[in-house]
């Protein structure tokens, strides 16, 4: 892959890259999509270089698909990372050695790169990754058990999670992450899993109801040991309206 990029370096924007933080939620688990290569004993975020003929947002979609096989994921740009020492020379040289690329030929790669971060939140059971080649492993890993990452990828991941948590104050989540019919405790657990903290049950119910995106169904959850809770669904039109206009409350 890198050899092909260097052979066609004029087709890529020098000094600029993209890294994607893809969070996955399902059944009260929050995971992050990571890549493991043969040229490093550390894991990495899926990322890559920007073709000069593509807008940067489209390039993020192209890169994510190329590295993981994932399609149809809405990516949000959240931050730029450009500290002088974010590129580690020993790491870059190890990659060049793995591909058998002379250091002189690989100067384009070893120069300083500024990276633009994108993030997304998906159902990880519905997003099955496919590695780019035999030298890579792509896996969903629990966000509380993330192993050592290359370069500044842990900083990028932490910033993405901070951004995701802040965005819960600006827009609802859950439409593509919960069953079509769900309970308030299920929805609350989704928010708690993302926020990493407990929420007061009564306050959550009051706030989520006030948003006006829920439809209370004339059904109750079956096969439960205690009192069966009510089932709800999202009002799709109102949900999309709130996503567009934003929220005015916090959690």
- Note whether 150 and 43 are within 8 A (CB): yes
Beta-strand ranges (E) seen in 123-179 are 136-142
Architecture of domain 2-167: Alpha-Beta Complex (3.90)
In this predicted structure, what is the pLDDT of residue 134?
Answer: 67
What span, in angstroms and rounded, lies between the C-alpha atoms of 155 and 147? 13
Q: Where are the domains of the chain?
A: 2-167, 184-245
Phi, psi for residue 126 in degrees, rounded to 5: -95, -5
pLDDT of residue 32: 98
| pLDDT reported for residue 225 | 60
Measure the CA–CA gap between 128 and 69, rounded to whole angstroms.
8
pLDDT at 2: 86
Q: Is the pTM for the entire model greater than 0.75?
A: yes
Six token digits for residue 87: 């590129």
The secondary element (H helix, E strand) that includes residue 189 is helix 184-195
Ordered DSSP codes for 68-100: H---SPPPEEEEEE--TT-S-HHHHHHHHHHHT
38: helix, strand or coil:
coil
Fold assignment, 184-245: Arc Repressor Mutant, subunit A (1.10.10)
pLDDT reported for residue 236: 95
The parts of the chain modelled with pLDDT lower than 50 are none
């Amino acid at each position: 892959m890198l050899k092909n990029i260097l052979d066609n370096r004029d087709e890529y924007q020098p000094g600029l890259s993209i890294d994607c933080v893809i969070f996955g939620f399902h059944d009260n688990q929050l995971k992050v999509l990571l890549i493991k290569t043969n040229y490093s004993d550390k894991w990495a975020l899926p990322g890559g270089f920007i073709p000069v003929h593509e807008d940067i947002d489209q390039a993020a979609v192209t890169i994510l698909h190329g590295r993981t096989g994932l399609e149809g994921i809405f990516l949000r740009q959240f931050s730029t990372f450009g500290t002088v020492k974010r590129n580690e020379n020993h790491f870059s040289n190890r990659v060049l050695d793995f591909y058998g690329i002379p250091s002189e030929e690989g100067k384009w790669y070893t120069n300083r790169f500024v990276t633009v971060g994108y993030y997304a939140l998906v159902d990880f059971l519905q997003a099955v990754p496919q590695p780019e080649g035999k030298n890579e492993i792509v896996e969903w890993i629990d966000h509380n058990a993330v192993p050592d990452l290359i370069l500044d990828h842990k900083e990028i991941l932490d910033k993405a999670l901070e951004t995701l948590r802040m965005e819960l104050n600006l827009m609802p989540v859950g439409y593509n992450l919960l069953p079509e019919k769900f309970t308030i405790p299920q929805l609350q657990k989704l928010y708690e899993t993302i926020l990493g903290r407990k929420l007061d049950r009564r306050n959550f119910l009051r706030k989520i109801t006030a948003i006006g995106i829920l439809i209370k169904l004339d059904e109750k959850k079956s096969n439960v040991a205690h009192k069966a809770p009510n089932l709800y669904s999202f009002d799709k039109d109102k949900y999309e309206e709130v996503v567009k206009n934003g929220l005015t409350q916090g959690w």
